[in-house]
Amino acid sequence: MESYRIVPLSHLSAKQVMSIAQIHVLVIDSLLSELGLLVVQRYYQIASVDTSVIGCCAISQSGFPLGWAIGSSAPSQLNERLRAALGWRSLLRALIARPRLIWQIFISSRSASAPLKPDALELTYIGVDVPSRKQGLGRELLNAFLAQAQARDFQSVALSVEADNVGALALYAQAGFQVINSFREGRYNRLRMELKF
């Protein structure tokens, strides 16, 4: 793997933010990915300037993103900003192209995961592009994210992960996350995990 540095999401160029969105669509199996690249790009554009967001990105020496970890103390506010930025028309267009997502969105809006505590941060996404995996980058990104969370005085980090995502589960467990709940969200079987500082 090319050498890299860890950089805050807010320091990336517009082109690098677009590349993160492209990797997201390729590696993260989520409702956001299913809404398509344009929606994911908008999400990261919004996140890169949102003060509730902590984002740590690994950028190679030649300037390409290799992976990232992103979270927010107000994840639903971030989703609301995305919806407002897209407008109902683009959202409807995205849904008309993918009608089966309508049910998934309905289910997600009634998600059984616990609400975020006031002094907690949600780790929303972490991903490493396929060629750079299994070389310690995921762990380094997660550690950088947790260090930022502690530096900002958050008392805990929570996340939801698919119950069959063996790699991510092992990564989180190694970092000290514990399963606190399990729930079903549409086609996803998820575990809720928490790390207290």
Ligand X SMILES: CC(C)(COP(=O)(O)OP(=O)(O)OC[C@H]1O[C@@H](n2cnc3c(N)ncnc32)[C@H](O)[C@@H]1OP(=O)(O)O)[C@@H](O)C(=O)NCCC(=O)NCCS
Comparison of 40 and 126: residue with beta carbon closer to ligand X: 126
Distance CA 116, CA 158 (A): 8
Least distance to ligand X, CB of residue 4, Å: 11
Binding flag, residue 27, ligand X (CB under 6 A): yes
State the nearest-atom distance from the C-beta of 88 to ligand X, in Å: 27
Strand duo 156-162 + 120-128: pairing: parallel
Angle at 111 between CA 152 and CA 86, to 5 degrees: 75
Our finding on whether 77 is near ligand X (CB under 6 A) is no
Write the DSSP assignment of 77-115 as a string of letters: HHHHHHHHHHHHHHHHHHHHHSTTHHHHHHHHHT--SPP
Cβ proximity to ligand X: between 155 and 174 the closer is 174
Smallest distance, ligand X to C-beta of residue 128, A: 4
Through-space distance between the first and last CA atoms of the chain, rounded to whole angstroms: 31
Q: How far is the CB of 102 from ligand X (least distance, A)?
A: 23
Binding site for ligand X (CB under 6 A): 27-28, 125-128, 133-139, 161, 165-168, 170-171, 174
